[in-house]
Amino acid sequence: MLGTARLLTRSLADACVSVGLSWRNLGHAFEKGNEQRLVDPRQWGVLYLGAAKPGDKARRLCKDPLVAIDRNGEPLVDQSSALTGLQGLVALDGNWAQAKALWWRNAWLTRLRRLVVVPDGPSLYGGLRREARSDAVSTLEAVALALSVLERDATVRERLLGPFRELVKRAGAAGIRDSKRDRRSRR
């Protein structure tokens, strides 16, 4: 609705948006013209769409706002190593159905380190957008939280959220609302 991924590209020097449904590999997703970027997928993370699986280990590790998980959704034992040395981060933008389609159509994503964001509160979208889950946040909010953890700098999150807060405030003042929520309330 408000395009938070595009807002990220205006706030982060190295951020880019690749529009499409599938790419051959991570480097192809960064392709500009015929120039493909050489990247090692093992040095990149992807903000995974799921949550860490419940259990004692997950509860203990999920005190942190960013959790590295394995292919089964279990938190990795050595979180520090899993979060160190990342060269970049991939965030799938769109509604939940679109993001899931991107995940399943791009098998190369499974070669990236899976990271789950554990928000410390509800999305700043508030009543402007209905979330699929109570712990769901916008792409911008997820990236801001992840980068603040990875860079060990809480000011990163606040710098990125400032323009988003203003966008949400203006949208609310203009009367923009979640059309799905409005349809449900009229029934």
What are the tens digits of pLDDT across the range 113-166?
A: 999 998 888 888 776 776 667 677 888 999 999 999 999 999 999 999 998 899
Residue 133 lies in a domain: yes
- 33-57 pLDDT, tens digit per residue, is 666 667 888 999 999 876 665 554 5
Residue 167 lies in a domain: yes
Q: 182 or 97: whose pLDDT is higher?
A: 97
Q: Determine the Cα–Cα distance for residues 12 and 117; give it in Å rounded to an integer.
A: 19
For residue 181, the model assigns a pLDDT of: 47
pLDDT category at 85 given cuts 50, 70, 90 is very high
Mean pLDDT of 61-77: 85
Residue 62 lies in a domain: yes
Residue 181 lies in a domain: no
Q: Determine the Cα–Cα distance for residues 118 and 121; give it in Å rounded to an integer.
A: 9
Residue 186 lies in a domain: no
pLDDT averaged over every residue in the chain: 82
Give me 59's structure tokens.
């509860």
Q: Count of CB atoms within 10 A of residue 47's CB?
A: 21
pLDDT category at 17 given cuts 50, 70, 90 is confident
Residue 182 lies in a domain: no
Among the listed ranges 1-15, 142-156, 161-175, which one has the minimum average pLDDT value? 1-15
pTM for this model (two decimals): 0.83
Residue 183 lies in a domain: no
Q: How many domains are there within the chain?
A: 1
Give me 111's structure tokens.
């070669």
Q: 104 or 128: whose pLDDT is higher?
A: 104
**Segments forming the whole domain that contains residue 54:** 4-176
